[in-house]
Amino acid sequence: MARKQAIEDVLAHPEWTLQQSVLHLKRSMRLTSAEMAKMAGISQKTLLDIEQGRSMGTVQTLNKILGLLGLKLGVVSKRARSTQV
């Protein structure tokens, strides 16, 4: 249930930064940074750097984090997005 809500929240807030999205996912899934990093297959330092805004992370790293929820980082044109609203 928390997983589904976390996905819905992130998808409903495209204005969130990657940092905000990662923090929300971690909190929603009630994980520590160490647990989330281990599950995503990244170092805890990398995750902490993203959470604390010291790094934006790489596409590969963010896909590992988002992949925990079956999500993937993507690019959408403004034109395509405006037609969805």
For residue 33, the enclosing domain spans 2-84
Contact partners, residue 3, CB within 8 Å, separation at least 6: 28, 29, 69
Q: Which of 68, 60, 85 is nearest to 21 (CA)?
A: 68
Specify the pTM: 0.79
User: How many structural domains compose the chain?
Assistant: 1
CATH number of the CATH domain containing 25: 1.10.260.40
pLDDT per residue as tens digits for the range 19-47: 999 999 999 989 999 999 999 999 999 99
Statement: residue 83 has pLDDT above 80: no
